[in-house]
Amino acid sequence: MKIEELSPVAVWKNFHALTQVPRPSGHLEKIQAFLLQWGKDAGVETWQDEAGNILMRKPATKGLEGRKCLVLQAHMDMVPQKTADSPHDFLTDPIPAYIDGDWVKTHGTTLGADDGMGVAAIMAIMEDKSLKHGPLEALITADEETGMFGAFGLKPGELQGKVLLNLDSETEGELYIGCAGGIDVTASMQYLEIEPFENRKAWRVTLKGLRGGHSGLEISEGRANANKLMGRFMREAVLVCNAGLAEWKGGNMRNAIPRDAYAVITVPTRSKSKLMKLAEECQTLWNDEFATIESGITLTVEPAEMPESEAPEEIRDNLINAILGCQNGVMRYIPTIPDTVETSSNLSIVEIGNGEATFSLLVRSSCDSMKMFQAISLKSVFTMAGMKVKFSGSYSGWQPDVDSPLLAAMKESYRELFGADANVCVVHAGLECGIINAASGGGMDMISFGPTLMSPHSPDERVFIPSIPKFYDLVRHVVEQGVK
């Protein structure tokens, strides 16, 4: 069976069409053009705003004009992550999705079900002429994954609706009524490089095979962070082999747990065997430490071309110490909901070389004061290493409203459709709901939900096929029933 033939066909055919259009964050021209043309072909009023968002509007079925206007919302961009051996080009190639039992997966890349499934459901609703509904709007935002720029750029007055269905969650049967806020922390410095000492040899150290994943949804699973592991190796390489540091690159997305990293180092020629032994020991140790979480962690050492320069010893040590010292992972759980993460940080990207060093981290928290405390704690570590620290992209969390009329309507719809109660949750991830609400003047009634996805933001991303009919049935039911 082909993906576009799965049930419900209305959703899967649109999702398959989306996999054929490149849409990595920051490069959305092709998907924007596709959606504009799709709307025109479907006879749906469609336009693009100044922030690059695609908006659609569909008038109410005759006799239902008095209902509240519903806004269906998802984001068009996807996280471009792939395995080290994948030849995929996210700027030109379609996503190689395939069916594996109850899952839709892909070969060596992210799938884009985050949030392609949400966009596909919106398309299915907008083109369905059999539905009877009140006024409908759709907001498909740009560059959610890199900073929610589309949501931040939404102008007042673009949306008329005050009831928002955010289709960007990853567990079917859960209704999210709140989310974490976030802030980007960027530490940087410039330094004068030195020539490597004589009688040394250059090596490229490559760490790969980690699972990576979503830095909010999966941060509590204890997955290994490639930059933190490389920091551990570098500290030992300096102590055991007097290693010099010429280059380091790890991670490439602010909201993804880094799954690989590499460093170019120099060591005395006589230290080759020590270096090889150290790499072997680290690989064995890390596979033991993460045995129930990770599998197949590899740390390889290969000859490299001798660099013309490297970091001075003091700078090298300060950078390694900062990487080891900065907090990464869960900092605190919500005191009143002990199984839900409140505050975390992710050492997303490390880039060192050519006289510059830059570290990028994403701090998340559902508590604004703890978000800033965590950011300031990180700043303290990096400042001691001589780095300049900048905060940017701060946004507050979405505070829950347990008395929401939309929540009541959706709980009733879920029970009517499936004979069970939906779980009401707060998610430790950044959703666009609060930002869109603020841009629209406040007062929106909002719920986030979606089908079941696993490992978004990593090449292990997959979507659970049996969850799609239930997800789409719920969307249709709420659209048809409306909200009082």
Sign of the dihedral through C-alpha 96, 100, 104, 106: negative
| Catalytic entry in 144, 168, 170, 294 | 144
Half-sphere exposure of 345 (CA within 13 A, CB side): 27
What gap in Å lies between CA 423 and CA 334, rounded to an integer? 18
* 288 contacts: CB under 8 Å, gap ≥ 6: none
473 is catalytic: no
Q: Decide if 220 contacts 433 (C-beta within 8 A).
A: no
| Catalytic entry in 77, 115, 168, 310 | 77
SS3 378: helix
Instruction: For residue 483, count other CB atoms closer than 10 A to its CB.
Output: 22
77 is catalytic: yes
Q: Decide if 139 contacts 55 (C-beta within 8 A).
A: yes
Number of H helices, E strands in the chain: 11, 23
326-332: long-range contacts, CB 8 A cutoff, minimum separation 24: 326/359, 326/361, 326/378, 326/381, 326/382, 327/374, 327/377, 327/378, 327/381, 328/225, 328/228, 329/219, 329/222, 329/225, 330/219, 330/220, 331/370, 331/374, 332/370
- Catalytic residue numbers, as ranges: 77, 144
